[in-house]
Chains A and B, each alone.
Chain A
């Protein structure tokens, strides 16, 4: 049977009937098995979430002292409220904590300023970003500058230490990994084999053993009067480890480029470093942005292994805080709090990478 379809006269596509009910019918209950799945998933969620809600919210107690938590079945958030500066900065002297807060505030101001499109292109802002690590380092470490008392790195800890270790490792691992990836593709046999050997060697060893090595072996390479703080050893270990991983990702991007891009740059007479810097890397890095961010997230979480060489990072603070006689055994709260912080940081990184991906689409 043939029906006559009238020609469409509007200049926009037709609007279909929508609305919450319609949407639910189409997406949640449409064929019968979808409806079953929806119901089962809903039930599971209910079973899982209700006890958690009861423990974390309904029965929870808030306050600042341990007494409020006596005879209580719920979470004891008083513990977090009391100990949260320790979670943030570890054993950093309490009368100096304002310095860390100020540093965090500076970064927050920079981030907010960067969110404004008009400010984003200002040279001053770029300069502030470049100088910020130095300012923060001076502020947190102190010494004789600006009459700030010296806080040795043995007293750094908590979230502050986790962020410090991850950021510094990322900043150093990235250029190293670019060089390794380029080295692996090099025409020069010596450079190529050194890069391949490094990458394959380091990738084949667990991070923990590298951290051990960095903390035990590293001082042997340098004169005894050169002191290496534990933090520095950890940074070196993490950097060397992740540079190998990142290098393999970046190599993927280098190989993902069409041969024609290399040839066009060659034919124009561009030298190796100009070709690499202007043509190859800008494209290769865009291709590997998602796996690279994945790697950065890996770095962030794997800094939690530094507990093994005696650093008190965010995760170790949880151990430490729950061994405090005042708050003995508040393990669930501590880990939940720590997990939340790791999640916030990792999720922000992944969101940030989505923004970059959209902005720099090829």
Chain B
């Protein structure tokens, strides 16, 4: 998918972002720019800080040094700002994290109704449209526990989209899924990418990455080791560490 984003406005900017867990340096001087409509895939060995990185963007993790600017708003400890940024940034988790005590429909409408003050009827119509878009309209009145993993993850995507976010973060969205369900989730993500959503995706799905990404980011030990286009990244990686990682992951 060739797709030019160089002239688009910057949506997310990270300047010298650092984070520690006690003495452990989880993020080490991260500098990144994500432009409108850009699809960035972040990969790297486990413990390399890729999940931590995207979780600092909606402050599920707090950074201790540096600057994160989302849509021109700098992330500070101010609760109101955090709140504003979170409403614009959707997130999909590895473990889905649907609310088990609410129906699929209520999972999706809860935040639009209570945080965006959208009338219940209208929110439900939007939710049903989203469910149709992710291909599980018929599950609207079930509870999350009655759905398969792939279906749950698609509900989670619909739930995030219902807030009409400008940016979507995906934290290993297919890692907890049985192999036969991975495709249905990736298909939804592909469709989102086609429609111009700004996306940051942490994933090991290299086929998906090669096909969809504008930018590949490889992380190791809390640092960004390499950042390039997928073409370069897969055919001609510059760093030795990247080559090792690609060898391991692609030869499986």
Instruction: Spell out A's residues near B (CB within 8 Å).
Output: 258, 260-261, 263-271, 274, 278-279, 282-283, 286, 362
The answer on a CB contact under 8 Å between A278 and B93 is: no
Q: Given the known A-B contacts A260-B95, A263-B60, A278-B110, are A271 and B115 also in contact in the complex, defined by CB atoms under 8 Å?
A: yes
Residues of B within 8 A of A263 (CB): 60, 93, 97
Residues of B within 8 A of A265 (CB): 99
Residues of A within 8 A of B58 (CB): 266-267
Residues of A within 8 A of B121 (CB): none
A-B contact pairs, 17 of them (CB 8 A): A258-B97, A264-B93, A264-B97, A264-B99, A266-B58, A266-B60, A267-B91, A267-B160, A269-B87, A269-B115, A269-B163, A270-B110, A270-B114, A283-B99, A283-B101, A362-B100, A362-B101
In the complex, A268→B160 CA distance in Å?
7
In the complex, A197→B164 CA distance in Å?
44
Chain B residues 146-186 with CB under 8 Å of chain A are 159-160, 163
Contact with A along B81-98 (1 / 0, CB 8 A): 001001101110101011
In the complex, A274→B114 CA distance in Å?
8
Residues of B within 8 A of A286 (CB): 101
The answer on a CB contact under 8 Å between B99 and A279 is: yes
User: Min CB distance, A289 to chain B, in Å?
Assistant: 13
Residues of A within 8 A of B114 (CB): 270, 274, 278
The answer on a CB contact under 8 Å between B90 and A267 is: yes
The chain B residue sitting closest to A277, CB to CB, is B114
In the complex, A279→B99 CA distance in Å?
7
| B126 contacts the other chain (CB 8 A) | no
| B29 contacts the other chain (CB 8 A) | no
Residues of B within 8 A of A279 (CB): 99
| B31 contacts the other chain (CB 8 A) | no
- Extra A-B contacts (10), CB below 8 Å, given A264-B99, A265-B99: A260-B97, A264-B98, A266-B58, A267-B58, A268-B111, A268-B115, A268-B160, A278-B99, A283-B100, A362-B101
Residues of B within 8 A of A278 (CB): 99, 110, 114
The chain B residue sitting closest to A362, CB to CB, is B100
In the complex, A263→B160 CA distance in Å?
13
- The dominant DSSP class at the B interface is mixed
- The dominant DSSP class at the A interface is helix
The answer on a CB contact under 8 Å between B159 and A268 is: yes
Chain B residues 61-99 with CB under 8 Å of chain A are 83, 86-87, 89-91, 93, 95, 97-99
In the complex, A267→B160 CA distance in Å?
9
Residues of A within 8 A of B97 (CB): 258, 260-261, 263-264
In the complex, A269→B59 CA distance in Å?
11
Contact with A along B208-230 (1 / 0, CB 8 A): 00000000000000000000000
User: Min CB distance, A131 to chain B, in Å?
Assistant: 28
**A-B CB proximity, top 10 nearest:** A264-B97, A260-B97, A269-B87, A269-B86, A267-B91, A268-B111, A269-B115, A282-B101, A260-B95, A274-B114
In the complex, A271→B80 CA distance in Å?
9
Determine which residue in A263, A265, A267, A286 has the highest number of CB atoms from chain B within 10 A of its CB, and name it. Answer: A267
User: Min CB distance, A276 to chain B, in Å?
Assistant: 12
Residues of A within 8 A of B100 (CB): 283, 362
In the complex, A274→B160 CA distance in Å?
17
User: Min CB distance, A278 to chain B, in Å?
Assistant: 6
Residues of A within 8 A of B91 (CB): 264, 267
Residues of B within 8 A of A260 (CB): 93, 95, 97
Residues of A within 8 A of B87 (CB): 269
User: Min CB distance, B142 to chain A, in Å?
Assistant: 14
The chain B residue sitting closest to A263, CB to CB, is B60
Q: Given the known A-B contacts A260-B93, A278-B110, are A270 and B99 also in contact in the complex, defined by CB atoms under 8 Å?
A: no
In the complex, A271→B117 CA distance in Å?
13
Q: Given the known A-B contacts A264-B97, A268-B159, A286-B101, are A274 and B115 also in contact in the complex, defined by CB atoms under 8 Å?
A: yes
The answer on a CB contact under 8 Å between B83 and A271 is: yes
In the complex, A258→B98 CA distance in Å?
11
The chain A residue sitting closest to B90, CB to CB, is A267
The answer on a CB contact under 8 Å between A268 and B95 is: no
Residues of A within 8 A of B86 (CB): 266-269
In the complex, A271→B86 CA distance in Å?
10
The answer on a CB contact under 8 Å between B101 and A268 is: no
The chain A residue sitting closest to B80, CB to CB, is A271
